Structure 1
Amino acid sequence: MRTGTKIGLGALAAVLLGGAAFVRFIVYPEQASLDFAAGTGASPTLPEPNPTLMPTVNIARVAGWAQGAKPKAAQGLSVAAFAQGLTHPRWVHVLPNGDVLVAESNTPPSGDKSTSVADWVADRVKGMAGAGVKSPNRIVLLRDTDGDGVADLRTVFLKDLYSPFGMALVGGDLYVGNANALVRVPYETGQTEITAVPEKVVDLPSGINHHWTKNVIASPDGTKLFVTVGSNSNVGENGLDAEKGRAAIYELDRASGALRAYATGLRNPNGLGFEPVTGALWTAVNERDEIGSDLVPDYVTSVKEGGFYGWPYSYYGSHVDARVSPQRPDLVATAIVPDYALGTHTASLGIAFSQGSTLPPAWKSGLFVAQHGSWNRRPKSGYEVLYVPFADGKPAGKPVDALTGFLDADERAQGRPVGVAIDKTGALLVSDDVGNAIWRVTGAAASQ
């Protein structure tokens, strides 16, 4: 394996002083050496760690979509804009009446700063990556009133939130995952605006906000809510005290209000979904950085009650991360191996099971995964919507590209997918926070 070229002092100075200029002159410290496919599937190939003096930075500059441009759908699929001109749309949630809620959101302000060099570098390129937008802190409602596949009604549904992300409706209660708390507002079918002040249900860990997104999903019977909380660092470099209550999925009992850790050791869980055959809860997880372009694969996995998934002490089961001290061999010995690797540094976020969709048969028994695209790999990875075929409740086969073209010929980001959901008609919706759009994917012969 290539050991890579360590960055020199001149390039380091460019990082510290040069802002956007450093991306043009930086000496990339490390190039991926494995076939990208080796880091995907149920049994990914994991190389030895390859840390470098400075982290690999290779993020796509923002270009946006030209007039009339759109992502490229795989054979048998078609894509069109459901809504455009949004402001940093991060997450989508489909209500029972077909209305689509979109969380327009971004990183919350924070007086605390991470001590990681990688975090500092990532902060310097946020603006170029389209992540420098001030959070709109609202949820927008989209409605297709004439059934033509395009939203023709748009309203500000709920405003003055705090970096909202996940949404879940249970009966007449709409839950929203703010960056610092799970909140609730009353909802009536057909409402296009909510003016009620959100009621706090439970505080959620916040602060440095290395990973600020809080997703939420209701159990099928509506008695429980599951909430994601990402870590506050890459591998605990801010101190493990800063990680208390983080890197976990929580279960909230709606009747009693009791909150407990359902699964831990999940560095940054995002997407949530219930697999239709087994009923198991699944999540997408962003793994750690700074030990090479070929480590560590992001993944989707079933979530076992009481399960521990390794972070920060190990990855992919018992692969110990030597950067973490003191170690916990007792925990490492119990670490669960994830079900399916999605490739390294893909920033896999939203997930949606396709059973029940109206997509063609080849796309109706699996899992769609929105890959936002990360900054810590050369060459770039992610920046697409991936499809993982399932059989008997488990991944069954190689991942398939469903929606691509988010990078242009110069590897600039025209868009970056975040959330995915199946709408009431059975089409796939994809939120695009750089392209400021919601894309709608149907069968190629379907009317748009």
Structure 2
Amino acid sequence: MRIIFLLLFATSAFAQHKGPELPPPHATKSYMKYSNVKGWENNEKPLAPEGFMVNLYAEGLQNPRWLYELPNGDLLVAESNSHYKFFKKIGAAIVGATRSNSMKKSADRITLLRDADHDGIPETKTVFLKDLHQPFGMLLVGDQFYVANTDGLLRFPYTKDATSITTAGEKVATFPAGKVNQHWTRNIIANKDKTKFYVAVGCGTDHGEKGMDKEALRANILEMNPDGSGMRVYASGLRNPVGMDWAPGTNTLWVAVNERDKLGNDLVPDYLTGVKEGAFYGWPYSYFGQHPDPRVPNAPAGLIESAVVPDFPLNAHTASLGLAFYTGNDFPEKYKNGAFVTQHGSWNRKPVSGYKVLFIPFKHGKPAGPQEDFLTGFVKDSVKGVVRGRPVGITVSQTGAMFITDDRTNRIWRISYAAPKP
């Protein structure tokens, strides 16, 4: 009860905005509509705005999910997937998962790609780390390299320009990852002076249907010291937070969050939001502020009323995963300091939604305009659910180019600007 009281006290002071108009729950039917991934044929590639070049940077990977660039320009790729035993538990969904190429065994490794001459083609591809456990977020602090496995944070010694790490890692923190582990990704980011780490941990279920005792320390952003000590809940009620980045010129952490399913075709919107320390964002009792979820009764008194409204809706069932603010100098000025969000795409909407990369302009650390499609062409037939690929991870390199993972076709795309800047 003390934790709930503190959350209520902390959130009562947060200024609220209304948020979007939402339909009532179950206003439309909910679908199970897994996409059918056909791949990229005959030199097809994603489509970017005029003046941009999209090039195939790497292929032949095994479910490339997340990206991290080292100071020397080496690009690290976390290759991981849901475990097969999870799909066995959810019965009929295994058929759809097979069609969407989601059944590949988790490689559980990190691959290094090195483009030494900066020509946009990596000359070196090596296994940087192996024998991990669903690795996702990565972070280098000094000579220590951190990997966020689904069940904990590992720390390894790192030598500059190394192409592999063979030294055993040290587990410095444990994350919840029991038998109910639907959202297994664990992203990690450090604050500016590297004294605090922030870890995004999604819920184990959709809306707590297996019991909230299975959700301890989940649906949160956790804060901890680099040695794993001092772990605490920084913000709560975030159903499945994944992509995180700091808004340029501010000390505000932003996160892309996947919302819940089976409330209708247009509920609930995924969202992008600045994270307020101590704030509660609703899950599982409410969504987008104070909209109660009818499937989740018995909310603690006053908790729904305290729920913070997220900053920016991203449409329902889009699986908005990756987030990167553009701080490079390669793209035109309109993109400077704006947010790019990757949308992996829906599995329970008809027609499908997502399957693209969005751009949201920012000014003074806040969204300053409507979202724009930036990278498209992933959808071949939206009604039949036929797609070419599914974007996931995103990072902006030191050269100003952008990299996007396509986990279902095992590719990485490189986006750069070729035309004269306006």
TM-score (norm 2): 0.91
Q: 1:253 aligns with which of 221, 225, 242?
A: 225
Q: Deviations over 1:357-398 (max 9, x none)?
A: 421122223100010001121111100000011011000111
Q: Deviations over 1:38-70 (max 9, x none)?
A: xxx994221111167x84112210111124221
Q: Which residue of 2 aligns with 1:430?
A: 404
Q: Which residue of 2 aligns with 1:391?
A: 363
Instruction: List aligned pairs for 1:242-391, cutoff 5 A.
Output: 242-254=214-226, 257-391=229-363
Q: Which residue of 2 aligns with 1:444?
A: 418
- Which amino acid letter does the alignment assign opposite residue 46 of structure 1? L
d(CA) in 2 for partners of 1:42 and 1:416?
A: 32
Quote how far apart the aligned CAs of 1:121 are.
Answer: 4.4
Quote how far apart the aligned CAs of 1:112 are.
Answer: 10
Quote how far apart the aligned CAs of 1:77 are.
Answer: 2.0
With over 3 angstroms needed to count, the CA separation of the structure-2 counterparts of 1:42 and 1:436, relative to structure 1, is farther
Q: Which residue of 1 aligns with 2:10?
A: none
Identity of aligned residues (%): 50
Q: Which residue of 2 aligns with 1:79?
A: 54
Structure 2 residue 377 is the aligned partner of structure 1 residue 405: yes
Q: Which residue of 2 aligns with 1:171?
A: 142
Structure 2 residue 70 is the aligned partner of structure 1 residue 98: no
Q: Which residue of 2 aligns with 1:21?
A: none
Cα contact 1:104–1:139 (8 A) shared by 2: yes
With over 3 angstroms needed to count, the CA separation of the structure-2 counterparts of 1:267 and 1:113, relative to structure 1, is farther
d(CA) in 2 for partners of 1:239 and 1:113?
A: 20
Q: 2:175 aligns with which of 179, 185, 204?
A: 204
For residue 358 of structure 2, give the secondary structure of its aligned residue in structure 1.
strand
d(CA) in 1 for partners of 2:88 and 2:63?
A: 23
d(CA) in 2 for partners of 1:170 and 1:286?
A: 28
Q: Which residue of 2 aligns with 1:153?
A: 124
Cα contact 2:190–2:196 (8 A) shared by 1: yes
Quote how far apart the aligned CAs of 1:355 are.
Answer: 2.2
d(CA) in 2 for partners of 1:70 and 1:189?
A: 34
- Residue range with higher mean Cα deviation, 64-73 or 150-159: 64-73
Structure 2 residue 18 is the aligned partner of structure 1 residue 47: no
d(CA) in 2 for partners of 1:120 and 1:235?
A: 18
TM-score (norm 1): 0.86
Quote how far apart the aligned CAs of 1:327 are.
Answer: 2.0
Q: Deviations over 1:85-141 (max 9, x none)?
A: 211100000111100000011013557986xxxx54444311111110000000000
- Which amino acid letter does the alignment assign opposite residue 203 of structure 1? T
Structure 2 residue 42 is the aligned partner of structure 1 residue 62: no
RMSD: 1.9
d(CA) in 1 for partners of 2:18 and 2:375?
A: 22
Q: Deviations over 1:285-312 (max 9, x none)?
A: 0001111111100001011111100000
Instruction: List aligned pairs for 1:219-230, cutoff 5 A.
Output: 219-230=191-202
Quote how far apart the aligned CAs of 1:329 are.
Answer: 3.8
- Which amino acid letter does the alignment assign opposite residue 96 of structure 1? P
With over 3 angstroms needed to count, the CA separation of the structure-2 counterparts of 1:59 and 1:72, relative to structure 1, is same
Structure 2 residue 106 is the aligned partner of structure 1 residue 135: yes
Structure 1 runs of 4+ off > 4 angstroms?
109-114
User: Structure 2: which 5+ residue stretches go unaligned?
Assistant: 1-16
- Residue range with higher mean Cα deviation, 409-418 or 366-375: 409-418
d(CA) in 1 for partners of 2:267 and 2:301?
A: 21
- Residue range with higher mean Cα deviation, 430-439 or 360-369: 360-369
- Residue range with higher mean Cα deviation, 73-82 or 407-416: 407-416
Q: Which residue of 2 aligns with 1:194?
A: 165
Quote how far apart the aligned CAs of 1:190 are.
Answer: 0.5
For residue 37 of structure 2, give the secondary structure of its aligned residue in structure 1.
coil
d(CA) in 1 for partners of 2:119 and 2:249?
A: 32
For residue 249 of structure 2, give the secondary structure of its aligned residue in structure 1.
coil
d(CA) in 1 for partners of 2:84 and 2:259?
A: 24
- Residue range with higher mean Cα deviation, 356-365 or 386-395: 356-365
User: Structure 1: which 5+ residue stretches go unaligned?
Assistant: 1-40
- Which amino acid letter does the alignment assign opposite residue 338 of structure 2? G
Quote how far apart the aligned CAs of 1:412 are.
Answer: 1.8
Structure 2 residue 80 is the aligned partner of structure 1 residue 108: no
d(CA) in 1 for partners of 2:380 and 2:86?
A: 36
- Residue range with higher mean Cα deviation, 303-312 or 75-84: 75-84
For residue 435 of structure 1, give the secondary structure of its aligned residue in structure 2.
coil
Q: Deviations over 1:312-340 (max 9, x none)?
A: 00001101111102222411111110000
- Which amino acid letter does the alignment assign opposite residue 190 of structure 1? D
